[in-house]
Amino acid sequence: MKEVIIATKNPGKAMEFEHIFSARGIVVRTLLDFPEIPDVEETGLTFEENAILKAEAISQALGKMVIGDDSGLIVDALEGRPGIYSARYAGEPKNDQNNTDKVLSELKGLPEEKRSARFYCALAVAIPGQEPMTVSGTCEGRILEERRGTNGFGYDPVFYVPEKGVAMAELSSDEKNKISHRANALKKLDVVLDSILEKTGQ
């Protein structure tokens, strides 16, 4: 059975990767399966840098091909914030509810046309002894005035997806995994992933 290791401790991301890869007969393992591995410090200044930091640290620890995911929400009216700081936007310890509340309150009273935003996902593939490669994907939308829906994770309840006419958290996982920033980034990996798995024998 083919296997892909994702350098994430986020259960929401883990579920999405499992869902997307299982359709292709690939088993996903994440850092939730390796609790002894310490957190990777996300000291990069871009999503790509952080995705590489995560992928390379875990690839070195396990001696295997590993994919890192660094993602977040970019809000135009907030000059791109929370951006790479999305996970801890409202401070430590990271908390999805507090993060979304902070974005909602910062945008309070702003009209719809000024609430544009996008999700961004950078994926890095690290293979022992090779230079890492990255791909990215986005998903365009806008910030709602209040939370809607209970599916997904993170900022999904406050992110309106115009092409679907609902909040991201109102989409089923099947629907989200067709249009999300993560899905769009993964589509770009599709072309090379099979040959990587062949070569690494994973």
Ligand X SMILES: O=P(O)(O)OP(=O)(O)OP(=O)(O)OC[C@H]1O[C@@H](n2cnc3c(O)ncnc32)[C@H](O)[C@@H]1O
Binding to ligand X by residue 141, rule CB under 6 A?
Answer: no
Question: What is d(CA 125, CA 135) in angstroms, rounded to the nearest whole number?
Answer: 9
Site map 29..68 versus ligand X, x via CB under 6 A: -------------x--------------------------
Encoding tokens for residue 199? 């070569």
The torsion angles phi and psi of 37, rounded to 5 degrees, stand at -75, 125
Candidate list 5, 21, 67, 72; residue touching ligand X; CB under 6 A: 72
Candidate list 4, 8, 107, 189; residue touching ligand X; CB under 6 A: 8
- The site partner of 86 among ligand X, Mg ion, none (C-beta below 5 to 8 Å per kind) is ligand X
- The site partner of 152 among Mg ion, ligand X, none (C-beta below 5 to 8 Å per kind) is ligand X
Q: 116-126 and 133-143 as β-strands: parallel, antiparallel, unpaired?
A: antiparallel
Q: 66-75 and 116-126 as β-strands: parallel, antiparallel, unpaired?
A: antiparallel
CB of 115 to ligand X, least distance (A): 16
For residue 159, what are the β-bridge partners? 143
Query: For residue 127, what are the CA distances in angstroms to 5, 58, 99?
Result: 11, 10, 33
Question: Which candidate in 70, 101, 156, 194 is catalytic?
Answer: 70
Residues that bind Mg ion (CB under 5 A): 87
Annotated active-site positions, please? 70
